[in-house]
Amino acid sequence: MLRVMIKDVGSLLDHTSFNFERLEFLQNTFLGLVDMEQNRIIKIFTVVTIVFYAPNTDCQHIWHELSFYA
């Protein structure tokens, strides 16, 4: 009886470990997707900021820098 209980506990520990690994994988995947979306949004805001900032200043070098992204 004790051996069966020990075997059951071992199986539960293995299953719990598997679930935690799966949860960690899903969490890392989600965080990676969020990070990519944030980078995309920040890239857009950066370009928009430079577009509205540059005409108000005498910074032609900024337009030269933007030509690399076009």
Of the pLDDT bands very low, low, confident and very high (cuts 50, 70, 90), residue 68 is low
Q: What is the pLDDT of residues 5-23, one digit of tens each?
A: 999 999 999 999 999 999 9
Q: What is the pLDDT of residue 55?
A: 62
Taking the C-alpha atoms of residue 6 and residue 21, their distance in angstroms, rounded to an integer, is 23
Pick from 22, 18, 69: nearest CA to 46 = 69
Cα-trace Rg, the chain = 26
CA distances from 64 to 40, 51, 54, 67 (A): 22, 12, 11, 5
Residue in the structure block whose two tokens are 């370009």: 47
Name the pTM for this structure: 0.60
Give the pLDDT mean for 24-36: 97
